[in-house]
Amino acid sequence: MGAEIPLDGAFEIGSRGVRFEEITDGLSNTLLLGEKHVPLGYFGRGWLDNSTYNGDYPQCFTRAGGPDYPLAKTTGEMSWSFGSYHAGLVQFGFVDGSVRSLSVAIDPRILGLLASRNDGQPIPDF
């Protein structure tokens, strides 16, 4: 995996979810969940895909988004990122309950802003 990931998303790995009042960037501007990228041929295998009930190994069921973790662009890409088998897009649920498709070409910095719940930064159009 890449650089250290700040624990400022809607969930804190190994801890708890957060209350709505802790999502100061806005419920419609914060990712809640997204499609998990699993490289072709790695379903149910190793650190990239495993049961969500394996709570002692969160890399199996979590993903990161941001400058060090852009969206996976191909099904064969070996990365711990969000991704999809839908051509060119990845589905995300936002904290406000909306579901939106993001292009795999989204600027990873914007993805990072959407993944953070409380950085106070404006989110450019995407």
Domain ranges of the chain: 20-115
Q: For the segment 5-24, what is each residue's pLDDT rounded down to a tens digit?
A: 566 888 766 666 788 999 99
16: Cβ contacts below 8 Å, ≥ 6 apart: none
Structural Rg of the chain based on CA atoms: 14
Give the residue from 122, 109, 98 showing the smallest Cα distance to 71: 109
What single letter denotes the amino acid at residue 21? E
Q: Provide the whole-model pTM.
A: 0.85
User: Cα 52 to chain center, whole Å?
Assistant: 15
The pLDDT, as a whole number, for residue 1 is 43
Element (H, E) at 99: strand 99-103
The pLDDT, as a whole number, for residue 18 is 84
Q: For the segment 64-98, what is each residue's pLDDT rounded down to a tens digit?
A: 899 999 999 999 999 889 999 999 999 999 999 99
Give the residue from 78, 82, 105 showing the smallest Cα distance to 9: 82
The pLDDT, as a whole number, for residue 63 is 85
Total residues belonging to the chain: 126
The pLDDT, as a whole number, for residue 11 is 77
Give the residue from 81, 123, 80 showing the smallest Cα distance to 104: 81
